[in-house]
Amino acid sequence: MNKTLILLPALWLVACNNSTQPEVSISDKLQTETDSFLTAYTAEFQKLYYASALAEWELNTHIVEGDTLTSKKAEEAGEAFAAFTGSEANIKAAQKYLEQKEELTDLQVRQLDAVLYAAGANPQVAADIVKQKIKAETEQTKKLFGFDFKINGQSVSTNEIDGILEESTDLKERLAAWEASKEVGAELKGGLENLRDLRNKSVQALGYEDYFNFQVSEYGMSTQEMLDLNHQSIADIWPLFRELHTWARYELAEKYDQPVPEYLPAHWLPNRWGQEWSPMVKADGLNFDAALEAKGSEWIIKEGEDFYRSLGYGKLPETFYTKSSLYPLPEGADYKKNNHASAWHMDLENDLRSLMSVEPNTRWWNTVLHELGHIYYYQAYSTDTVPVILRGGANRAYHEAIGTLIGLASMQKPFLLQKGLLPKDVESDEIQTLLKEALDYIVIMPWASGVMTDFEHALYSENLSVDQFNQKWWELKKKYQGIIPPAEKRGEEYCDAASKTHINNDAAQYYDYALANVLLFQFHMHIAKNILKQDPHNSNYYGSKETGQFLLALMAPGATVDWKENLQENLGEGISAKAILEYFNPLMAWLKTENEGREHTLPETV
């Protein structure tokens, strides 16, 4: 296959040497030759990508203890894709054309850069390392999602663990659930160390400093620039987060009838990682769990599609429903599946799928709208104008921003009233609604930009010693989140970082979520104020074709544009936390009053 790719340009040159051909400029010759390479590369890339995605889908949706055939197929498909994208022939060809990039079109240059980026993860010059890495990643996935979580010796689902942490007021029960959620980390610690070494070695073979640097490079930024951007985002929202942290300490101490702690014990919070605290606020006026339970899980999916269609987008393909895995496994199923919601662009064209475990509640209502945001993003750039290898977001955060933006919009009162999920005479407290939102959208930022980003930077860029994994993790959680472990010391027999899905199989890019939050509020404030002319806290996107067109302008170009230029063109500004702070400004005033006389234990600056 690789030989064919190298021969194509040569055969074209022979044809052009025919004296009967009209004279062609050097630039035209180079562009045509480059197109020949990219056409052949794309066809093979797409075929192997699809085969790998199908194998990974099976691995994530049908996990059977003792099954080695499925993982072997996933390894083989992954190896075939890696061998092609990382082939020395493709690397050399892309590098050769880029040596004369001033003679090429911008679209050609972007595709060639994408070829080299794809090669970076699996370069042929490190073939043995790449093969080991693929095998190690497959084993890590099986251990992570095949893990049997237990409380008091009884197997439980992660949904059940989450339910306890969201609802229980019994600190012993909460502690048992939290500890159960972390047992998987100890099983994954050795695998994480091995994966770190293999991932670093694989990308270093093509000149990247380390795996973290490799992932950051997709933004067109250096490692330090990315760290600076994330740390600045935390600094911008820190005064608000500090007030939320103080409020939460006093609120939870009262709830559990305990002295007010200096820092938040991890098992007191309604999330396994303390990444969002919104279940602390019920916001009863906007509670529609009962309405959703009456309508059922399938209704949520269909209404999610209806929302996007109201913006002017088309129907989802029927195969989305027949091939996706959308609901929890039936009771007594003899297999397991990945319990983390995700969207899949299987063939980079029309095979669109989602992996979820939808239940009829508010959390899944939001999640469904988010995941469908990814699906409609895939559809937006799956057109003839966007080459297959550039079918991604303008940057990775764009994808998360669009999905989460619609999740936010789906929770606003006017839309819920229109959908009949709230009674017409419902009364709601705007401050409590804002508080609930801040405990999600603000609280996640120190976690994403701080804990996750700094931990993975230490892991990959600083080669963090395996005997310091847990120490570093809790050091960062205290610094950025003001969270401490339930016991005074959480030793190195644990690896609590590895209990987080992304640390294992979506590595070194969690800052995407934090940057997405900044972007989504820039998008939302623009839509509410400039398109809908509505209060950003009480807006309704449903049926707004103009909103759909604005979002399409962000999505449809895929990765054919520079993300900073795309942002400037559509918003007239660069990435900035100004919008998110403006949105939550009324809450900040309320929190300062509420926290008057209370002790703030987080420093004024981070």
- pLDDT at residue 9 above 60? no
Rounded Cα–Cα distance for residues 516 and 514 (Å)? 5
pLDDT at 23: 58
pLDDT at 285: 64
With respect to residue 215, please indicate whether it lies within any of the assigned structural domains. Answer: no
Give the confidence band of 1 by pLDDT, cuts at 50, 70, 90.
Answer: very low
pLDDT at 176: 98
pLDDT at 6: 32
| 245 in the same domain as 178 | no
Q: Are 558 and 398 in contact (CB under 8 A)?
A: no
Angle at alpha carbon of residue 359, lines to 273 and 313, rounded to 5°: 100
Reported residue count of the chain is 606
The neighbour count for residue 560, using CB atoms within 10 Å, is 19
- pLDDT at residue 80 above 50? yes
Rounded Cα–Cα distance for residues 102 and 361 (Å)? 54
pLDDT at 282: 81
Rounded Cα–Cα distance for residues 219 and 230 (Å)? 13
| 244 in the same domain as 204 | no
The per-residue DSSP string of 108-150 comes to HHHHHHHHHHHHHHS-GGGHHHHHHHHHHHHHHHHHHHT---E
pLDDT average, residue stretch 278-300: 88
Q: Compute the mean pLDDT over every residue in the chain, rounded to the nearest whole number.
A: 93
Q: Are 484 and 477 in contact (CB under 8 A)?
A: yes
pLDDT average, residue stretch 43-71: 94
| 86 in the same domain as 179 | yes
| 27 in the same domain as 169 | yes
With respect to residue 217, please indicate whether it lies within any of the assigned structural domains. Answer: no
Q: Are 579 and 559 in contact (CB under 8 A)?
A: no
- pLDDT at residue 122 above 70? yes
Write down the residue that tokens 């073979």 correspond to. Answer: 205
With respect to residue 605, please indicate whether it lies within any of the assigned structural domains. Answer: no
- pLDDT at residue 572 above 50? yes
Which residues constitute the domain of residue 80?
A: 2-208
With respect to residue 158, please indicate whether it lies within any of the assigned structural domains. Answer: yes
With respect to residue 344, please indicate whether it lies within any of the assigned structural domains. Answer: yes
With respect to residue 606, please indicate whether it lies within any of the assigned structural domains. Answer: no
pLDDT at 328: 94
With respect to residue 214, please indicate whether it lies within any of the assigned structural domains. Answer: no
- pLDDT at residue 284 above 90? no
- Max alpha carbon distance in the chain (Å)? 91
| 311 in the same domain as 163 | no
Give the confidence band of 4 by pLDDT, cuts at 50, 70, 90.
Answer: very low
Q: How many distinct structural domains can be found in the chain?
A: 2
| 234 in the same domain as 196 | no
Please identify, among 208, 242, 261, the residue that sits at the C-terminal boundary of a domain: 208
- The CATH code of the domain that includes 588 is 1.10.1370
Ranges 2-16, 105-119, 156-170: which has the least confidence: 2-16
| 278 in the same domain as 137 | no
| 260 in the same domain as 199 | no
pLDDT at 24: 61
Rounded Cα–Cα distance for residues 520 and 579 (Å)? 9
Higher pLDDT, 556 or 285: 556
| 234 in the same domain as 189 | no
pLDDT at 286: 67
| 241 in the same domain as 199 | no
Ranges 12-26, 90-104, 228-242, 451-465: which has the least confidence: 12-26
Please identify, among 179, 208, 237, the residue that sits at the C-terminal boundary of a domain: 208
pLDDT in tens, 172-190: 999 999 999 999 999 999 9
Rounded Cα–Cα distance for residues 184 and 66 (Å)? 18
| 74 in the same domain as 204 | yes
pLDDT average, residue stretch 119-126: 92
Q: Are 245 and 602 in contact (CB under 8 A)?
A: yes
Percentage, residues of the chain above pLDDT 70: 95
With respect to residue 599, please indicate whether it lies within any of the assigned structural domains. Answer: no
Give the confidence band of 487 by pLDDT, cuts at 50, 70, 90.
Answer: confident
pLDDT at 249: 98
| β pairing state of 264-265 and 154-155 | unpaired
pLDDT at 67: 87
pLDDT at 247: 98
pLDDT average, residue stretch 68-89: 93
pLDDT in tens, 354-406: 999 999 998 899 999 999 999 999 999 999 999 999 999 999 999 999 999 99
In sequence order, the β-bridge partners of residue 325 are 355
pLDDT in tens, 309-336: 999 999 999 999 999 999 999 988 999 9
- pLDDT at residue 231 above 50? yes
Please identify, among 208, 233, 262, the residue that sits at the C-terminal boundary of a domain: 208
| 353 in the same domain as 241 | yes
The neighbour count for residue 65, using CB atoms within 10 Å, is 10
pLDDT in tens, 489-521: 899 999 999 999 999 999 999 999 999 999 999
